[in-house]
Structure 1
Amino acid sequence: MAITKNTMVSLTYDLKIEGANGELIEQATAEKPLTFVYGAGLMLPKFEALIEGLEQGNDFNINLPCEDAYGQVDENAIVDLPKHLFMVEGKFDEEIIKVGNIVPMMSAGGQRMNGLVLEITEEHVKMDFNHPLAGEDLFFSGKVLEVRDATDEEIAATLQSGCGCDSGGCGCEETSCETEGANGGGCGCGC
Protein backbone atom coordinates (compact mmCIF):
# COMPACT_ATOMS: atom_id res chain seq x y z
CA MET A 1 0.00 0.00 0.00
CA ALA A 2 1.26 3.49 -0.87
CA ILE A 3 1.21 6.53 1.41
CA THR A 4 -1.91 8.52 0.54
CA LYS A 5 -4.42 10.67 2.44
CA ASN A 6 -5.82 9.03 5.58
CA THR A 7 -3.26 6.24 5.72
CA MET A 8 -1.51 5.47 9.00
CA VAL A 9 2.22 5.72 8.43
CA SER A 10 5.04 4.45 10.65
CA LEU A 11 8.59 5.37 9.77
CA THR A 12 12.08 5.75 11.12
CA TYR A 13 14.25 8.76 10.45
CA ASP A 14 17.40 10.58 11.39
CA LEU A 15 17.01 14.35 11.25
CA LYS A 16 20.19 16.33 10.68
CA ILE A 17 20.89 19.98 10.07
CA GLU A 18 23.31 21.12 7.38
CA GLY A 19 22.98 18.05 5.15
CA ALA A 20 23.59 14.31 5.34
CA ASN A 21 26.85 14.74 7.26
CA GLY A 22 25.47 17.37 9.63
CA GLU A 23 24.58 17.25 13.31
CA LEU A 24 22.00 14.62 14.29
CA ILE A 25 19.27 16.43 16.21
CA GLU A 26 16.40 13.95 16.28
CA GLN A 27 15.77 10.30 15.64
CA ALA A 28 12.83 7.92 15.38
CA THR A 29 13.88 4.28 15.58
CA ALA A 30 12.24 0.97 14.66
CA GLU A 31 11.57 0.44 18.38
CA LYS A 32 9.97 3.88 18.69
CA PRO A 33 8.89 4.95 15.20
CA LEU A 34 7.08 8.10 14.18
CA THR A 35 3.45 7.11 13.55
CA PHE A 36 0.91 9.55 12.12
CA VAL A 37 -2.13 9.91 9.90
CA TYR A 38 -0.89 11.12 6.53
CA GLY A 39 -2.64 14.24 5.22
CA ALA A 40 -3.83 15.44 8.65
CA GLY A 41 -1.42 18.39 8.76
CA LEU A 42 0.86 16.94 11.42
CA MET A 43 4.00 17.11 9.31
CA LEU A 44 5.72 19.89 7.44
CA PRO A 45 3.80 20.20 4.15
CA LYS A 46 6.89 19.71 1.97
CA PHE A 47 7.94 16.65 4.02
CA GLU A 48 4.50 15.12 3.47
CA ALA A 49 4.57 15.90 -0.24
CA LEU A 50 7.93 14.17 -0.63
CA ILE A 51 6.91 10.94 1.14
CA GLU A 52 3.57 10.62 -0.67
CA GLY A 53 3.45 7.43 -2.72
CA LEU A 54 6.19 5.65 -0.78
CA GLU A 55 5.43 2.09 0.33
CA GLN A 56 6.42 -0.16 3.21
CA GLY A 57 10.14 -0.92 2.99
CA ASN A 58 11.01 2.18 0.94
CA ASP A 59 13.99 4.25 2.08
CA PHE A 60 13.95 8.03 1.75
CA ASN A 61 16.38 10.94 1.83
CA ILE A 62 14.79 14.37 1.98
CA ASN A 63 16.52 17.74 1.90
CA LEU A 64 14.32 20.62 3.09
CA PRO A 65 15.79 24.10 2.71
CA CYS A 66 14.74 26.35 5.59
CA GLU A 67 12.13 28.04 3.38
CA ASP A 68 10.32 24.67 3.13
CA ALA A 69 10.81 23.86 6.82
CA TYR A 70 10.54 26.58 9.49
CA GLY A 71 11.56 29.58 7.44
CA GLN A 72 14.19 32.19 8.10
CA VAL A 73 14.76 33.65 11.55
CA ASP A 74 12.17 36.42 12.06
CA GLU A 75 13.72 39.33 13.97
CA ASN A 76 10.18 40.45 14.93
CA ALA A 77 9.84 37.23 16.96
CA ILE A 78 12.68 38.37 19.26
CA VAL A 79 11.11 40.63 21.87
CA ASP A 80 11.77 42.37 25.17
CA LEU A 81 9.09 41.54 27.71
CA PRO A 82 8.63 43.44 30.97
CA LYS A 83 10.30 41.58 33.80
CA HIS A 84 7.18 41.88 35.99
CA LEU A 85 5.44 39.31 33.75
CA PHE A 86 7.71 36.68 35.29
CA MET A 87 6.91 37.40 38.93
CA VAL A 88 5.62 34.60 41.13
CA GLU A 89 4.22 35.69 44.50
CA GLY A 90 5.91 39.07 44.09
CA LYS A 91 9.33 37.62 43.27
CA PHE A 92 11.13 37.15 39.93
CA ASP A 93 11.26 33.43 39.09
CA GLU A 94 15.04 32.94 38.72
CA GLU A 95 14.80 29.14 38.67
CA ILE A 96 12.85 29.04 35.42
CA ILE A 97 13.64 32.38 33.81
CA LYS A 98 17.35 32.12 33.07
CA VAL A 99 19.39 32.54 29.91
CA GLY A 100 19.18 29.44 27.72
CA ASN A 101 15.92 28.10 29.15
CA ILE A 102 12.91 27.50 26.95
CA VAL A 103 9.78 28.78 28.67
CA PRO A 104 6.19 27.89 27.73
CA MET A 105 4.18 31.07 27.20
CA MET A 106 0.78 32.09 25.92
CA SER A 107 0.02 34.96 23.56
CA ALA A 108 -2.72 37.51 24.28
CA GLY A 109 -4.86 35.51 21.83
CA GLY A 110 -4.38 32.28 23.80
CA GLN A 111 -1.85 30.64 21.43
CA ARG A 112 0.67 28.39 23.19
CA MET A 113 4.28 29.01 22.23
CA ASN A 114 7.76 28.50 23.58
CA GLY A 115 10.26 31.27 24.08
CA LEU A 116 14.02 30.96 24.47
CA VAL A 117 15.40 33.31 27.14
CA LEU A 118 18.25 35.26 25.51
CA GLU A 119 18.98 37.96 28.06
CA ILE A 120 17.76 39.30 31.41
CA THR A 121 18.16 42.96 32.35
CA GLU A 122 16.89 44.99 35.29
CA GLU A 123 13.60 45.71 33.52
CA HIS A 124 13.20 43.23 30.64
CA VAL A 125 13.56 39.61 29.58
CA LYS A 126 14.63 39.23 25.92
CA MET A 127 12.96 36.18 24.40
CA ASP A 128 13.16 34.50 21.02
CA PHE A 129 9.86 33.00 19.82
CA ASN A 130 11.25 31.65 16.54
CA HIS A 131 11.04 27.90 16.07
CA PRO A 132 14.35 26.41 17.26
CA LEU A 133 15.01 25.21 13.70
CA ALA A 134 14.22 28.51 11.98
CA GLY A 135 16.98 29.34 9.52
CA GLU A 136 18.16 25.72 9.34
CA ASP A 137 18.17 23.43 6.31
CA LEU A 138 16.91 19.98 7.33
CA PHE A 139 17.96 16.55 6.07
CA PHE A 140 15.85 13.46 6.79
CA SER A 141 16.98 9.91 6.02
CA GLY A 142 14.75 7.04 6.96
CA LYS A 143 12.61 4.07 6.07
CA VAL A 144 8.87 3.47 5.82
CA LEU A 145 8.02 0.66 8.24
CA GLU A 146 4.28 0.36 7.68
CA VAL A 147 1.46 1.90 5.67
CA ARG A 148 -2.16 0.92 6.35
CA ASP A 149 -5.60 2.47 6.21
CA ALA A 150 -6.21 4.66 9.26
CA THR A 151 -9.27 3.77 11.29
CA ASP A 152 -12.12 6.24 11.66
CA GLU A 153 -11.16 6.60 15.33
CA GLU A 154 -7.53 7.42 14.47
CA ILE A 155 -8.61 10.04 11.94
CA ALA A 156 -11.11 11.58 14.38
CA ALA A 157 -8.54 11.68 17.19
CA THR A 158 -6.02 13.39 14.91
CA LEU A 159 -8.52 16.00 13.74
CA GLN A 160 -9.67 16.75 17.30
CA SER A 161 -6.16 17.20 18.68
CA GLY A 162 -5.49 20.53 16.93
CA CYS A 163 -1.83 19.60 16.93
CA GLY A 164 0.81 19.64 14.29
CA CYS A 165 3.52 21.70 12.78
CA ASP A 166 1.31 24.71 12.16
CA SER A 167 0.22 24.85 15.81
CA GLY A 168 3.59 26.11 16.97
CA GLY A 169 5.17 22.76 17.58
CA CYS A 170 5.41 19.15 16.63
CA GLY A 171 2.31 17.78 18.20
CA CYS A 172 0.79 18.58 21.53
CA GLU A 173 3.02 16.54 23.77
CA GLU A 174 5.23 18.84 25.84
CA THR A 175 8.30 16.64 25.49
CA SER A 176 11.80 17.16 24.30
CA CYS A 177 12.84 16.78 20.70
CA GLU A 178 14.72 13.61 21.53
CA THR A 179 11.43 11.85 22.29
CA GLU A 180 8.89 13.88 20.34
CA GLY A 181 9.33 12.15 17.02
CA ALA A 182 9.59 8.76 18.60
CA ASN A 183 6.32 8.91 20.52
CA GLY A 184 4.01 9.41 17.61
CA GLY A 185 3.45 13.01 18.68
CA GLY A 186 4.26 14.26 15.24
CA CYS A 187 7.72 15.38 14.37
CA GLY A 188 9.02 14.93 10.90
CA CYS A 189 8.30 18.48 11.42
CA GLY A 190 11.51 18.56 13.37
CA CYS A 191 11.10 19.93 16.83
Structure 2
Amino acid sequence: MKITINSVVGLTYELKVSKEEENIESVPFSVEVRDQEDPFYFLFGNSGLPEKFESFLVGKSKGEPFNFIILANEAYGEADDELIMALPKSQFTAENGFEPEMFEEGNFLPLVDENGYPMQAKVLKDLGNEVLLDFNHPLVGFDLHFDGEVHEVREATAEELEHGHVHGEHGHQH
Protein backbone atom coordinates (compact mmCIF):
# COMPACT_ATOMS: atom_id res chain seq x y z
CA MET A 1 0.00 0.00 0.00
CA LYS A 2 1.22 3.49 -0.82
CA ILE A 3 0.90 6.55 1.42
CA THR A 4 -2.23 8.50 0.48
CA ILE A 5 -4.72 10.79 2.21
CA ASN A 6 -6.34 9.10 5.22
CA SER A 7 -3.81 6.26 5.49
CA VAL A 8 -2.12 5.51 8.80
CA VAL A 9 1.64 5.95 8.45
CA GLY A 10 4.39 4.73 10.76
CA LEU A 11 7.91 6.13 10.34
CA THR A 12 11.34 5.55 11.79
CA TYR A 13 13.72 8.48 11.40
CA GLU A 14 16.35 10.78 12.79
CA LEU A 15 15.46 14.46 12.87
CA LYS A 16 18.30 16.95 12.82
CA VAL A 17 17.88 20.72 12.89
CA SER A 18 19.98 23.63 11.73
CA LYS A 19 19.58 27.38 11.77
CA GLU A 20 21.01 30.09 9.57
CA GLU A 21 22.14 33.08 11.61
CA GLU A 22 23.94 36.10 10.17
CA ASN A 23 24.57 34.19 6.93
CA ILE A 24 26.34 31.34 8.77
CA GLU A 25 24.64 27.96 8.37
CA SER A 26 24.92 25.85 11.52
CA VAL A 27 25.85 22.17 11.42
CA PRO A 28 22.69 20.06 11.79
CA PHE A 29 22.33 18.44 15.21
CA SER A 30 20.09 15.55 16.21
CA VAL A 31 16.97 16.36 18.25
CA GLU A 32 14.85 13.23 17.84
CA VAL A 33 15.24 9.58 16.89
CA ARG A 34 12.23 7.33 16.32
CA ASP A 35 13.40 3.72 15.96
CA GLN A 36 11.79 0.28 15.46
CA GLU A 37 10.86 0.18 19.17
CA ASP A 38 9.14 3.59 19.01
CA PRO A 39 8.03 4.50 15.48
CA PHE A 40 6.11 7.72 14.86
CA TYR A 41 2.50 7.15 13.72
CA PHE A 42 0.08 9.67 12.23
CA LEU A 43 -3.03 9.96 10.08
CA PHE A 44 -1.81 11.19 6.69
CA GLY A 45 -3.61 14.38 5.67
CA ASN A 46 -4.65 15.13 9.25
CA SER A 47 -1.31 15.09 11.05
CA GLY A 48 -0.99 18.73 12.07
CA LEU A 49 2.57 18.56 10.72
CA PRO A 50 3.94 21.02 8.18
CA GLU A 51 2.34 20.45 4.76
CA LYS A 52 5.77 20.09 3.19
CA PHE A 53 6.51 17.09 5.48
CA GLU A 54 3.59 15.11 4.08
CA SER A 55 4.33 16.16 0.48
CA PHE A 56 7.74 14.42 0.70
CA LEU A 57 6.10 11.15 1.81
CA VAL A 58 3.07 10.84 -0.48
CA GLY A 59 3.21 7.70 -2.66
CA LYS A 60 5.90 5.93 -0.61
CA SER A 61 5.44 2.33 0.57
CA LYS A 62 6.54 0.27 3.56
CA GLY A 63 10.34 -0.14 3.60
CA GLU A 64 11.05 2.88 1.39
CA PRO A 65 13.74 5.27 2.67
CA PHE A 66 13.37 9.04 2.74
CA ASN A 67 15.76 11.92 3.20
CA PHE A 68 14.65 15.54 2.89
CA ILE A 69 15.07 19.03 4.32
CA ILE A 70 12.22 21.38 5.14
CA LEU A 71 13.34 24.99 5.38
CA ALA A 72 12.17 26.98 8.43
CA ASN A 73 9.71 29.07 6.41
CA GLU A 74 7.95 25.87 5.23
CA ALA A 75 8.22 24.15 8.62
CA TYR A 76 7.25 26.15 11.72
CA GLY A 77 8.25 29.62 10.48
CA GLU A 78 9.97 32.27 12.52
CA ALA A 79 9.33 33.15 16.17
CA ASP A 80 6.32 35.36 16.90
CA ASP A 81 7.08 37.89 19.66
CA GLU A 82 3.35 37.96 20.56
CA LEU A 83 3.68 34.36 21.72
CA ILE A 84 6.16 35.37 24.44
CA MET A 85 4.37 36.53 27.56
CA ALA A 86 4.72 36.95 31.30
CA LEU A 87 2.07 35.15 33.33
CA PRO A 88 1.45 35.19 37.09
CA LYS A 89 2.95 32.17 38.83
CA SER A 90 -0.26 31.99 40.88
CA GLN A 91 -1.90 30.41 37.77
CA PHE A 92 0.39 27.38 38.14
CA THR A 93 -0.59 25.75 41.41
CA ALA A 94 0.63 22.57 43.10
CA GLU A 95 -2.98 21.32 42.97
CA ASN A 96 -2.68 21.41 39.17
CA GLY A 97 0.62 19.49 39.25
CA PHE A 98 3.11 22.36 39.03
CA GLU A 99 6.23 22.20 41.20
CA PRO A 100 8.70 25.09 41.76
CA GLU A 101 11.55 23.33 39.92
CA MET A 102 9.41 23.27 36.77
CA PHE A 103 10.00 27.03 36.39
CA GLU A 104 13.74 26.72 35.74
CA GLU A 105 14.95 28.36 32.50
CA GLY A 106 14.74 26.05 29.50
CA ASN A 107 12.11 23.72 30.94
CA PHE A 108 8.89 23.07 29.04
CA LEU A 109 5.64 23.40 31.00
CA PRO A 110 2.91 20.91 30.05
CA LEU A 111 -0.25 22.97 29.57
CA VAL A 112 -3.78 22.61 28.17
CA ASP A 113 -5.44 25.20 25.94
CA GLU A 114 -9.00 26.49 26.38
CA ASN A 115 -10.30 23.59 24.23
CA GLY A 116 -8.59 20.95 26.34
CA TYR A 117 -5.77 20.22 23.87
CA PRO A 118 -2.27 19.63 25.26
CA MET A 119 0.36 22.27 24.53
CA GLN A 120 3.62 23.40 26.02
CA ALA A 121 5.47 26.60 26.79
CA LYS A 122 9.19 27.06 27.27
CA VAL A 123 10.28 28.85 30.45
CA LEU A 124 12.46 31.79 29.41
CA LYS A 125 12.87 33.44 32.81
CA ASP A 126 11.58 33.25 36.35
CA LEU A 127 10.55 36.82 37.19
CA GLY A 128 9.62 36.18 40.83
CA ASN A 129 5.82 36.52 40.94
CA GLU A 130 5.62 35.98 37.18
CA VAL A 131 7.21 33.62 34.68
CA LEU A 132 8.20 34.59 31.14
CA LEU A 133 6.96 31.88 28.75
CA ASP A 134 7.48 31.23 25.05
CA PHE A 135 4.48 29.60 23.36
CA ASN A 136 6.19 29.33 19.95
CA HIS A 137 6.68 25.80 18.60
CA PRO A 138 10.04 24.42 19.89
CA LEU A 139 11.27 23.99 16.29
CA VAL A 140 10.39 27.51 15.15
CA GLY A 141 13.20 29.09 13.14
CA PHE A 142 14.93 25.77 12.39
CA ASP A 143 15.46 23.92 9.12
CA LEU A 144 14.37 20.29 9.61
CA HIS A 145 16.52 17.43 8.23
CA PHE A 146 14.68 14.08 8.10
CA ASP A 147 16.43 10.78 7.32
CA GLY A 148 14.38 7.64 7.76
CA GLU A 149 12.23 4.83 6.44
CA VAL A 150 8.52 4.09 6.07
CA HIS A 151 7.84 1.53 8.80
CA GLU A 152 4.16 0.83 8.07
CA VAL A 153 1.29 2.00 5.86
CA ARG A 154 -2.28 0.83 6.35
CA GLU A 155 -5.81 2.00 5.71
CA ALA A 156 -7.29 4.07 8.50
CA THR A 157 -10.36 2.64 10.20
CA ALA A 158 -13.68 4.45 10.05
CA GLU A 159 -13.29 5.32 13.73
CA GLU A 160 -9.80 6.80 13.16
CA LEU A 161 -11.12 8.91 10.28
CA GLU A 162 -14.07 10.08 12.38
CA HIS A 163 -11.83 11.00 15.34
CA GLY A 164 -9.01 12.43 13.22
CA HIS A 165 -6.17 10.44 14.81
CA VAL A 166 -4.57 6.98 15.00
CA HIS A 167 -5.99 4.47 17.49
CA GLY A 168 -4.63 1.24 18.89
CA GLU A 169 -1.13 0.23 19.91
CA HIS A 170 0.60 3.25 18.31
CA GLY A 171 -2.14 5.81 18.75
CA HIS A 172 -4.73 7.29 21.05
CA GLN A 173 -6.47 5.07 23.57
CA HIS A 174 -10.11 5.89 24.39
TM-score range (shorter-chain normalised) is 0.7 to 0.9
Q: 1:125 is matched with which residue: 127, 131, 137? A: 131
Q: 1:154 is matched with which residue: 160, 169, 172? A: 160
Q: 1:145 is matched with which residue: 138, 148, 151? A: 151
Q: C-alpha separation between the residues in 2 aligned to 1:87 and 1:31?
A: 36
Q: C-alpha separation between the residues in 2 aligned to 1:4 and 1:23?
A: 30
Q: C-alpha separation between the residues in 2 aligned to 1:116 and 1:61?
A: 29
Between stretches 102-111 and 133-142, larger displacement belongs to 102-111
Pairwise mapping of residues 40-189 of structure 1 onto structure 2 (< 5 A)? 40-88=46-94, 93-107=99-113, 112-157=118-163, 159=164, 184=170
Correspondence for 2:35 = 29
- Deviations, residues 14-44 of structure 1 (Å, cap 9, x unaligned): 100029x621111111232222221223432
- Deviations, residues 80-131 of structure 1 (Å, cap 9, x unaligned): 1233333558xx9523323222112345676643111111223421111111
Please give the root-mean-square deviation of Cα atoms over the aligned residues, in Å.
2.8
SS of 2:101's equivalent in the other structure is coil
Q: C-alpha separation between the residues in 1 aligned to 2:40 and 2:113?
A: 29
SS of 2:56's equivalent in the other structure is helix
Q: C-alpha separation between the residues in 1 aligned to 2:38 and 2:112?
A: 31
Q: C-alpha separation between the residues in 2 aligned to 1:107 and 1:147?
A: 31
Query: Offset of 1:185 from its aligned partner?
Result: 5.4
Are 1:71 and 1:134, in contact at CA under 8 Å, matched by a contact in 2?
yes
Correspondence for 2:14 = 14
List alignment gaps of at least 5 residues for structure 1: 164-182, 187-191
CA distance 1:151–1:95, change in 2 (3 Å): same
Between stretches 112-121 and 126-135, larger displacement belongs to 112-121
Q: Which has the higher strand share?
A: 2
CA distance 1:136–1:185, change in 2 (3 Å): farther
Q: C-alpha separation between the residues in 2 aligned to 1:85 and 1:70?
A: 28
Correspondence for 1:5 = 5
Are 1:65 and 1:136, in contact at CA under 8 Å, matched by a contact in 2?
yes
Identity of aligned residues (%): 39
Q: C-alpha separation between the residues in 1 aligned to 2:102 and 2:133?
A: 13
SS of 2:103's equivalent in the other structure is coil
- Residue identity opposite 2:75 in structure 1: A
Q: C-alpha separation between the residues in 2 aligned to 1:7 and 1:108?
A: 30
